[in-house]
Each structure stands twice: as structure tokens, then as C-alpha cells.
Amino acid sequence: MLSLLRLIVFPLLLLLPYVVFSHFIVENLPGFQGKLPFKLETGYVGVGEEEKVQLYYYFVESERDPENDPLMLWLTGGPGCSGLSSFVYEIGPLMFDYANSSGDFPKLELNSNSWTKVANIIFIDQPAGSGYSYAKTSEAYNCNDTQAVTLTYEFLRKWLMDHPKYLKNPQYVGGDSYSGIFVALLTRRIYDGIEVGEKPRVNIKGYIQGNALTDHYIDANGRVIYAHRMGLISDKLYQSTKANCNGNYVNVDPNNESCLNDLQRVDKCLKNIRRAHILEPWCDLPFLMSILQVTPTNVRSLFPIEGPWCREKNYIYSYIWANDKAVRKALNVREGTALEWVRCNDSMHYRGKERTESYVYDVQSVIDDHRHLISKSCRALIYSGDHDMVVPHSSTEEWIDSLKLPIADDWEPWFVDGQVAGYKVKYSQNDYELTYATVKGGGHTAPEYKPEQCLAMVDRWFSGYPL
């Protein structure tokens, strides 16, 4: 069978220029005791003009049935956040062992709720400048949403040509946070490629989005609405702000003093609320955040981490681990590239502006791309942590409602171990199906906060069962 696949794929290699594959099997990692009990492959795929962009990836084979389980390309948000962040903090097979990480180096342990229990997953560092991915010229680091998706599509096609045994697996695109932009665009690009006969044919079945940015205006505007619904601002302040701002809290007339004054009062109420999860402690640690964003190698001086807990302290472990020379060698990171690993590259990370020095946010909404996919044979899972104020679930529900899809199964709770894990609603039109689920107690993003519930959710959805 493998020989036959090679005969099929070899001509396809001629369709994409400069195809040079570089990947390695990783059997041991610093911080983890013993041999890895799962198959981990890391490598680079060159994309773009003369393959000046080198995209790094981690591929983890499904621990259940890799020959038949879904294959999912996972895009971490940002933009500019490393796939390693999703790997160790959200849905991957390893996590940091905080309780036993003494001394100056973090320990790793297995994640019993890894999505690789039920799927093959490619975690990618994209665009160039994210994680261990890099560009061969300074100009090649410049990017935008549209170009990032084009290069990621090229990555996927080349990766599949180098891994022909996965061509037949049901394939999905997944991602969270800012990658809501990428996931919708890439999924549409894949379906459009199938229609014009592009090879290799991606066996796409659908897409998954979590706490996902979809429309810059709707998602940002919804934070005031969400804050009111969660009791963070009073009815009186909300009604005043709504009236004075005409329901528009983003594109405010600079001469509308009543609106501006109300928004200042709203900001004062929300100032010390952790937006990624409104119930968790807010980190008043500017010195810590500046170190994380600017000089990651200095993070060792903060380890072990003292003082009151806040989630941002967990992220320090990844900076220490990923910048260690032995780790980089074990992961086969090319020497002289990606000199300092950062969890999220601040030169690209979205902060509400139109662009940064190296990145242009040229796509403001992908609602039309979701609408385009309604005409395809396609499944979608959209989930939201209900305590996330970065991309509020109420905003996600607003754009889903705008699709005007018929409801197949109306709003009702879903359960894990007999307990309500969230609420769900299913839409269906012809061969398109969209399941929307809230994750009770989840933040930005949900699997980091509710791993057991999210694994149950995605396992049921992949299998075609009701949540």
C-alpha cells in the first residue's frame, strides 16, 4: 500500500517547486522522564518564494488509531503565538509538572486530556517569527492575514505529500483566538482548491474554532455587552453607555463626550479584571510581562516562582524550557535560527491596531467565509469558554445568528460525568452542519481551563455523536 501511495505522490511533488523535506522523530525530551510514549515528529517545511519562509511544526500521531483517526492542522492564535503553547498548555500530550518543578528547570508530565488521544495533530508555528519558524531574509518576515493563510495552505499540501499515508484520513483545520481568522480563510481555500482540482487533494471534512476572533468589530464591541451580562457593570451604566454610544463601543465619535465618559467608567470597572478568565486573579506584574515579551532568557532568574499564583506565571515555564540548548537540540531546531523563543511574538500580536511593524491585519471579518462554507459538505464545531472576555461567547453567538441557519437541535445543556459542561445548539442546512457549544467555566481558551470537558466534546464531535 505504501509503495502505491509513493507512486501516486511522486508526480505531485513536481507541482510544487523547491520541495525539500526536513523532519525527525523525537524519542526523548529534557524534563520528561524516560522515552516518550507517543510518536512525536518535528521538522520544517519551506514555503513562499524560493522557500524563504521555513515553517516549523510538531506532529503527534493519534494514540488510538492513527491510520483512521482524523488529521487536524492546529493553528495557534496571536498572530505570532507558537504551536508549542497549544501543545503544552491546551490540547497537546505534554504539560508542565508545576508541583514537582524545583531547581531551575521545568519538568514535564503526560496530559491525560490530550486531543491526541483521538486525533493526529500538526501543531504549526506560523507565520515566520512565531516559535521556531523563521525567514531567510528580513523582507520575508513581513506578512498579513491573507499571505499567512496562503503560506499555511502551501505548508499543508507539502506536508501531505511527504506523509502520503494520511491522505485518506478525514482532515480538519482547527485553531483558537486570533486564528479564527486563519481557520475560516484556510478552510475555504482548501474547499476552493478541491473544486479546481489542486493536488494533492485534501480530504477536508470540516473545521474547529475555539474562543475565535471572527469579526473585529463584533468581537470587540461585545465586551461591553458581556460585561453587563456578567454583572461587571451596573444596569444603569450599561443603559447609559448603550444610549449615549448608540450601541457602538468601538468606532466612537471623538466629539461624543457622553459616550466617551461612559466608556471611561466602564474601563474603570474592568481595569483589574483578568479578561482571559474573569474569575481568575489578575496579574499586576508589569515587570514579569515585560520580561516574558522582551528578554525570555532572563526568565530563569525568576524560577522557582514565588508569591501569589496567577496563570501568567505558568507561562514562564515554557520560556525556560523552549530556550534551553538541550531542548532545542532534542527538537532538532536549526542552529542560528529563532535565536530566542517567545510564546507570542509581540511584533505581530494583535493589540487592536491596524498593523505592526512587520504584520498587517488585512482581514477584518470572516463571516462571509463561514457563509461561503454553508454550500459545502462541511462540519463545523465552534466552542467558547463562557468566562472569556477577550472574545466573548455572546459575540460568537451574534455572528453565528447572522448566518440565518436552520436549527436542527435547539439550545440545551451537554454533560460530562453527569455534570453540566456547557450548552449547545446545532444548525444544519443541506450538507453543512454547525455545532456551537459553550464550555462552562472555560476561559480564553477553553481547553486550558476545562481540559476534561473539552476532550469529551471534541471526541464526541469527531465521532459524529451528540455532545
Tell me which residues are annotated as active site: 177, 388, 444
Q: How far apart, in Å, are the Cα atoms of 147 and each of 137, 167, 226, 362?
A: 16, 25, 33, 10
Phi and psi angles of residue 192, each rounded to the nearest 5 degrees, phi first:
-65, -35
Phi and psi angles of residue 290, each rounded to the nearest 5 degrees, phi first:
-65, -35
Cis ω before 281 (30° cut-off from 0)? no
Phi and psi angles of residue 167, each rounded to the nearest 5 degrees, phi first:
-60, -30
Cis ω before 200 (30° cut-off from 0)? yes
- The partner residues of 95 in beta bridges, in order of sequence, read 109
Q: What is the largest CA-CA distance in the chain?
A: 71
Nearest-angstrom CA–CA distance, 90 and 450:
9
Phi and psi angles of residue 423, each rounded to the nearest 5 degrees, phi first:
-130, 155
Nearest-angstrom CA–CA distance, 326 and 116:
25
Nearest-angstrom CA–CA distance, 292 and 304:
15
By CB atoms closer than 10 A (0-12, 13-18, 19+), residue 112 is exposed
Q: Residue 54's closest CA among 69, 44, 40?
A: 44
Nearest-angstrom CA–CA distance, 273 and 375:
41
List CB contacts of 239: < 8 A, sequence separation 6 or more.
none
Residue with cell 482532515: 171
Write out the three cell numbers for 263. Answer: 466608556
Q: Residue 121's closest CA among 179, 65, 174?
A: 174
User: Which helix H or strand E contains 228, and what residues bound it?
Assistant: helix 216-229
Write out the three cell numbers for 302. Answer: 525568576
Which amino acid, one-letter code, is at 460?
A: R
**Distance linking the first and last C-alpha atoms of the chain:** 36
154 HSE (CA, 13 A, CB side): 26
